Structure 1
Amino acid sequence: MSIDASEMDGPSGTSGQSGGVSGDLAAQLGELARELQQEDDLDTVLAGIVQAAVELIPGAADASISLVTGRTIEAKIASGVLPRRVDALQSSTGQGPCLDAAYEHRIVRVPDLSTETRWPAFCSGAVELGARSMLSLQLFVEGDRMGALNLFGARPDAFDLESEQIGLLVAAHAAVAFADSQKISQLKEALMSRQLIGQAEGILMERYKLSAQQAFLVLTRASSSSNRKLREVAEDLTISGEIAGVKRPVR
Structure 2
Amino acid sequence: MLPATTRPRLLGTRPDLDGWLAAAAGRWHAADDADGVVHAVVGDLAALLPADAAVSVVVRGTGRRPRDPVASAPGAATLDAAQVAGGQGPLLEALGGTPAGSADLLQDPRWPRLACTAAATALPTATCLPLDTGREVLGALSVYATGEVPERATLAPVAVHAALALRSVQRIEHLAVALASRDVIGQAKGVLMERYRITAEAAFGILTRASQDTHRKVRDVAALVTETGEAPGDPRSADDGR
Is the pair's TM-score, using the shorter chain for normalization, greater than 0.5?
yes
Aligned-pair Cα RMSD in Å: 3.0
CA contact (8 A) 1:53 1:167 kept: no
Q: Does 1:128 align with 2:120?
A: yes
Aligned-partner SS, 2:192: helix
Match of 1:109 in 2: 101
Instruction: String of CA shifts for 1:56-98, please: whole Å, max 9, x gaps.
Output: 3567722111135899643342223222221221122211111
Match of 1:5 in 2: none
Report the CA distance between 1:204 and its aligned residue. Answer: 1.4
TM-score by length of 2: 0.80
Work out the number of aligned pairs and report it: 228
Code of the residue aligned with 1:122 in structure 2: it is L
Match of 1:97 in 2: 90
| Alpha-carbon distance in structure 2 between the residues aligned to 1:131 and 1:247 | 61
Q: Which runs of 5+ in 1 are unaligned?
A: 1-13
Q: Which runs of 5+ in 2 are unaligned?
A: 1-10
Match of 1:201 in 2: 189
Aligned-partner SS, 1:218: helix
Match of 2:178 in 1: 190
Instruction: String of CA shifts for 1:20-73, please: whole Å, max 9, x gaps.
Output: x52xx3211111121122224000011111112212356772211113589964
Match of 1:217 in 2: 205
Per mean C-alpha deviation after superposition, the further-off stretch among 177-186 and 214-223 is 214-223
CA contact (8 A) 2:206 2:235 kept: no
Structure with larger RCO (C-alpha < 8 A, sep 6+) = 1
- Equivalent residues in 2 for 1:33-52, closer than 5 Å: 33-52=25-44
Code of the residue aligned with 1:169 in structure 2: it is P
- Equivalent residues in 2 for 1:35-184, closer than 5 Å: 35-57=27-49, 61-67=53-59, 73-103=66-96, 105-106=98-99, 108-140=100-132, 146-153=138-145, 155-156=146-147, 158-161=148-151, 164-184=152-172
Are the structure 2 counterparts of residues 243 and 81 from structure 1 closer, same or farther at C-alpha, using a change threshold of 3 Å? farther
| Alpha-carbon distance in structure 2 between the residues aligned to 1:146 and 1:32 | 19
Identical amino acids, percent of aligned pairs: 34
Are the structure 2 counterparts of residues 84 and 241 from structure 1 closer, same or farther at C-alpha, using a change threshold of 3 Å? farther
Are the structure 2 counterparts of residues 45 and 230 from structure 1 closer, same or farther at C-alpha, using a change threshold of 3 Å? same
| Alpha-carbon distance in structure 2 between the residues aligned to 1:121 and 1:76 | 19
CA contact (8 A) 2:53 2:149 kept: no
